[in-house]
Every structure is written in structure tokens, then in C-alpha cells.
Structure 1
Amino acid sequence: MNPILRLAFRPWAEGVENVPEEGPVILASNHLSHSDTIFGWLHVKRRVTQLAGSHFFSGRGIKGFLMRLFLNGIGTVPIDRSGGKASEAGLSSGLRVLNEGNVLGIYPEGTRSRDGRLYKGRTGVARLALASRAPVIPCAMINTFEIMPPGRLLPKLGIRPGVKFGKPLDFSRYHGMEGDRLVLRAVTDEVMHALMDLSGQEYVDDYAVRTTVSKG
């Protein structure tokens, strides 16, 4: 799909050189649109495995089949976000990817932003970073909300999507402290602050799902 996407949308990227050429690394991105999955890793030379909610794999009919085919094709690992042991299993899948020396893509917000703002991150990214000792690269998606906002099935033409890769975040000072909730929150907040600086988004100190529900 790369040649077609590059020709139709002319995607751009900054800071790709910040992604290590080898070894485990976490690409932590803001989440504005389903098109983030399409455009986010186009410029990364290494294969990126990403985590996604298991409900995306449970669709029925032709649409569900095509969705599963696409997600499997781009290396997506389904995770159960219902909490407890199910969520632990999802993090274990991500940790396995990192322990094998590969690249893991993750959306710390946990779901797409419904209004284009940046929401509070969940601490899974911190747990993965500390357990694997992998660097975290903040990745800011640009213009994907305008290309494919929530509810739109096909991306708009005429808008160039972009991604900014920030400098690696080193959390070695926290190694061995992944059981400390305050440390997990501090690491996650540092990742989100880096994403805010890169993206220029307004930050909301609340979880995206919780905010969406409160608005009906």
C-alpha cells in the first residue's frame, strides 16, 4: 500500500532518524483517527507491531473480515482492555515483542480523541518501558483528525498527513520501580508532555473514554 498512499496523500515525517535501527523501542503516539494506523509508521524502516483492542477483530461479515485481514497484515496484536488479568495479558504480549528486540507501537490515550485534543495517558506505556528497559520515542500525528475524523469511513483527499518523531526518552533512572504507581504516573506524564510539545494539541487532564462517556 505504501506507493499508493504516498502518491495519493503525500505523507511527510520529521525526526525519523530518532528511531533506533536495532534493538527494542516503543513508539508512543497520540491517537486522532483510524488513519493513524495507516500513516503512522509509513516512514519507519523497521516493522512495527502495535496493540489494538480485541473488539476490532470481532466484526462480522465482509467488513469484519477485511478489518481483521488489514490489522493482521500490519502486525497488530489484539488485547483485551476490560481490565484486570485481561489487561495484564495484553501488556505481556507487548513485552514479548520488546523482549524479542522489536518495535512496538502504542497509543497511551487508549482510544481516539473525539475532539482533536490530547488526553491523559494510561500507564501501560510506562510499565512496558520500565519492564523492557526500551527507550520511548514520542510520535505526534499531524492532520489525521482532519483527514478521517470519528465517524468517517474513508479518508479525505487534499490534506497531507504527517508524523513527528521526538528524541528518545530515557527512563533508566526508574528501572526496578515498575511497581510504584507514582513512578508509573510520572513516566506516563512525561511521555504525554513530549507528545503535547510535538503535536501542539491542547492537553486535557482526564481520560478520553471517561470524558466521552460524560458527554453522552
Structure 2
Amino acid sequence: MSTKLFYSFLKWVAIGPLLRAVFRPSYEGTENIPRKGPAIMASNHLSYADWLFMPLGMKRMVRFVAKAEYFTGTGPKGFLQRIFFSGTGNVPIDRGGATAAEGALIAAKRVLAEGELFGIYPEGTRSHDGKLYRGRTGIARLALDTGAPVIPVAVIGTDVIAPPGKKFGKLVHPRVIYGKPLDFSRYEGMTNDRYILRAITDEIVYEILKLSGQEYVDMYATEAKKLADGKKPTKKSSGSAKTGPTKDVA
């Protein structure tokens, strides 16, 4: 069975109908999703359930990256992981040579070159407290290198369904809002300009912020989590709440 066929089976026959029946998610802005061609689906990240609900409202497959270990496991558990992660369109990151970030960028470019949708979380990790954090500039580099439009996406309520650090949550009706496409062709050829990369990243995060209504914190999510756990952050950041992303460079 091909990847797209298996993905369609899970989405429209097996898992998708069950998620819709139990959680009754709502979707807005589906007209903003291109019917064909590459696009970067840039979403906030509240819960591991985001990657289930975010693509559910669209007809096309959305591909994400996943650790290579999920594709090489042994035994019954490893077999099921390989089937599921391969069948749902996830792309393995090879950590043997390049760094995880470089591997993700290479995988993303390959997906977009094939004219498909690629899902990415600009914050780089899940928010531990429901706030929106500073974006990593890899998404800006990806947009400039590929020329693909960026679709800002807001996922709302998944942190209640599957709270970070907890096994069970509450039954709520999640919302997913797809924003209008963002075109950064005006910055063509400026991939090596870190100020441009920061400006693009901030613009994407700001559009997500407008859709989600979250509180914004001018700090990377990984550093904020360290502070919450009582650890010393590795990078300087005020961590103050803002109304939107700043324009400084990291």
C-alpha cells in the first residue's frame, strides 16, 4: 500500500472519523490552503495532538519530520512504529551526519520540491504553558530557499485535550484556523542575511499570534521551559510578555 493511500485510509476511514466524532473539531480558513503545489504549514505547538488535528481539516496530506529511530525500531513495537510513521507521511531525520536542524531542513526541502505540504512548528518545541514563544529562523531559511508560501496556522484547545507532561486531559472541541498565505519573494537571495531571517520569522509568528490569541513571550520555548524547571537558561532573554514578536536578532 502506498504512503498516500495508507494516509488517506487513516484520515478518512480509520482515525479521522473517530477524532471528528469524539472531539468535534472546527476548522476555519480552509480556503487559504492551496489546492496544489508546495506550501509550508507553520503552526503554534501546544500538544503532541497538534499534528493529528491540524491536518484533519484539509484534503491534502501534510508531512512532518520525525526521528529516524521511529523508522528503524525492532520487535512488535518497532514494526508498528515503522508502519505508522511511514504510512502517515512523516520523513525521517538522519542524525548520523548533519545536526537535527540541518537534517530537518534538508527533509523539508525534499518534501516541498515534490510539490507537497510540509508542517513545521516555528517555536521548535511544544509550549509548556500555552503561551506563544519566539520562532526559530529555520522556517525563514526554508521559505527563502524554496520560494514556497507560508500558511500560518493556529491550533486552539489541544493543550487541554493532551496537556504536556500529563497522560490524560479533558474533552473539549479544538479549533484550527488557517491564515492567508504569506509571500516572502521580496527577500529572494537574502538567505544569508540574519536580520532578514529574523524579520521573516517574526512576521510568521505574529500572524500565528493574531490567529491564536495567545500571550506572546519574547524568549525561546526551550529556554522558558528551563526557567520553569528551575534551571539556568543558556541564552540571554528577558522573557517578558509582549504583544508581539520583536525585531532583534538571535
Same fold (TM over 0.5): yes
Structure 2 vs 1, CA of residues 141 and 80 (structure 1 numbering), >3 Å: closer, same or farther? farther
**1:72-122 per-position Cα deviation (integer Å, ceiling 9, x unaligned):** 332112336899644222201100111111100001111100000001110
Q: Distance in 2 between matches of 1:213 and 1:82?
A: 27
1:175 to 188, 211, 218: 188
1:195 to 198, 208, 219: 208
Conservation of the 8 A alpha-carbon contact between 1:52 and 1:77: yes
Cα distance, 1:213 vs structure 2: 1.5
Structure 2 vs 1, CA of residues 164 and 24 (structure 1 numbering), >3 Å: closer, same or farther? same
Conservation of the 8 A alpha-carbon contact between 1:164 and 1:198: yes
Question: For residue 110 of structure 1, what is the amino acid of its counterpart?
Answer: G
Q: Distance in 2 between matches of 1:62 and 1:21?
A: 38
Conservation of the 8 A alpha-carbon contact between 1:119 and 1:205: yes
Residue matched to 1:162: 175
Q: Which runs of 5+ in 1 are unaligned?
A: none
Structure 2 vs 1, CA of residues 54 and 118 (structure 1 numbering), >3 Å: closer, same or farther? farther
- In the TM superposition, what are the counterparts of 1:27-46 in structure 2 within 5 Å? 27-46=41-60
Conservation of the 8 A alpha-carbon contact between 1:13 and 1:163: yes
Structure 2 vs 1, CA of residues 212 and 89 (structure 1 numbering), >3 Å: closer, same or farther? same
Conservation of the 8 A alpha-carbon contact between 1:80 and 1:87: no
Q: Which runs of 5+ in 2 are unaligned?
A: 1-14, 230-250
2:138 to 103, 119, 124: 124
Aligned length: 215
Structure number with larger C-alpha Rg: 2
SS at match of 1:26: strand
Q: Which fold has the larger relative contact order, with Cα–Cα distance below 8 Å and residues 6 or more apart in sequence?
A: 1
TM-score (norm 2): 0.78
Structure 2 vs 1, CA of residues 105 and 63 (structure 1 numbering), >3 Å: closer, same or farther? same
Conservation of the 8 A alpha-carbon contact between 1:26 and 1:129: yes
Provide the identity percentage: 55
Q: Distance in 1 between matches of 2:78 and 2:130?
A: 26
Quick check: 1:18 aligned with 2:18?
no
Cα distance, 1:59 vs structure 2: 7.7
